[in-house]
């Protein structure tokens, strides 16, 4: 059974550019959540996808958008990058059943210059 | 005020000590409580998962939840240098839903 994987591991972009981050969920999991973790802080919830539909969103602007595919992998897209978007972006998957929790991938470290 | 408060540390202890990590929260809707361990530049790793109030033990780790006080704790017995990491508490109102994290406590266990 493979765990949650994310790509790329590191990324450097300039302000105003767009970025796409990818996540493959753990086998058997149909729910993917994305979190942003700034340096020295706890992760903050961006949004969650359940069976290809958005299933909850945190306090992030519309330039943060996502997709979930039929195989339950997911993308996070960020448009018009700002310096404050520099962070570790974490993907977590879960089965969505009662009593199950979320398992995190290693993250993608994004630096916006 | 943040929904989940956690002392950032750093907390420095000698090897073999008992470590106590804590979080307080304000949202009474939280029912599921988790502790994650995060090594530098890595993703969070689930340590303990508890539903509602009570205690749960797993090896050297014990998690306690007191919903009446809105207070959760993680105890680490016989701490090891390999336990040096940032410990994040997280909670949610419904399993599988969004997690609200504390800011993390950095723990250093010295040989």
Phi, psi of B97 (to 5 degrees): -90, -175
pLDDT at position B48: 94
The minimum CA-CA distance between B70 and chain A, rounded to whole Å, is 19
Record: contact A104-B45, CB cut-off 8 A: yes
Tell if the CB–CB gap between A102 and B96 is shorter than 8 Å. yes
Residues of A in contact with B97 (CB under 8 A): 48, 56
Whether residue A95 has pLDDT greater than 90: no
Report the C-alpha gap between B98 and B77 in whole angstroms.
30
**Residue A64 confidence (pLDDT) above 60:** yes
Q: Using DSSP, state whether B94 is helix, strand or coil.
A: coil
DSSP three-state, residue A81? coil
Partner-chain contact A102 B100, CB within 8 Å: no
Residue B18: is its pLDDT beyond 70? Answer: yes
Residue pLDDT, tens place only, B34-64: 999 999 889 999 999 998 888 999 999 999 9
Mean pLDDT of B2-31: 94
Q: Tell me what pLDDT residue A28 has.
A: 84
- Of B41, B97, B103, nearest to A41 by CB-CB distance is B103
CA B101 – CA B81 distance, rounded (Å) = 24
């Amino acid at each position: 059974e493979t765990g949650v994987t994310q790509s790329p591991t590191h990324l450097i972009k300039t302000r105003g550019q767009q970025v796409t981050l990818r996540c493959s969920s753990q086998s058997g999991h149909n729910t993917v959540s994305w979190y942003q973790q700034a340096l020295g802080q706890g992760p903050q919830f961006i949004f969650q996808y359940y069976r290809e539909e958005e299933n909850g969103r945190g306090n992030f602007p519309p330039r943060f958008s996502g997709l979930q595919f039929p195989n339950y992998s997911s993308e996070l897209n960020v448009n018009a990058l700002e310096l404050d978007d520099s962070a570790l972006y974490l993907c977590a998957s879960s089965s969505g059943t009662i009593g199950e929790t979320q398992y995190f991938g290693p993250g993608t470290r994004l630096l916006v210059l | 005020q943040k929904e989940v408060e956690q002392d950032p540390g750093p907390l420095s202890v000698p090897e073999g000590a008992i470590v106590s990590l804590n979080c307080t929260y304000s949202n009474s809707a939280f029912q599921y409580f988790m502790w994650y361990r995060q090594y530098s530049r890595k993703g969070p790793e689930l340590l303990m998962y508890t539903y509602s109030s009570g205690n749960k033990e797993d090896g050297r780790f014990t998690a306690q939840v007191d919903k009446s006080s809105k207070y959760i704790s993680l105890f680490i017995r016989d701490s090891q240098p390999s336990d040096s990491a940032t410990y994040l508490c997280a909670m949610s109102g419904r399993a599988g839903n969004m997690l609200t994290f504390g800011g993390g406590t950095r723990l250093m266990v010295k040989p």
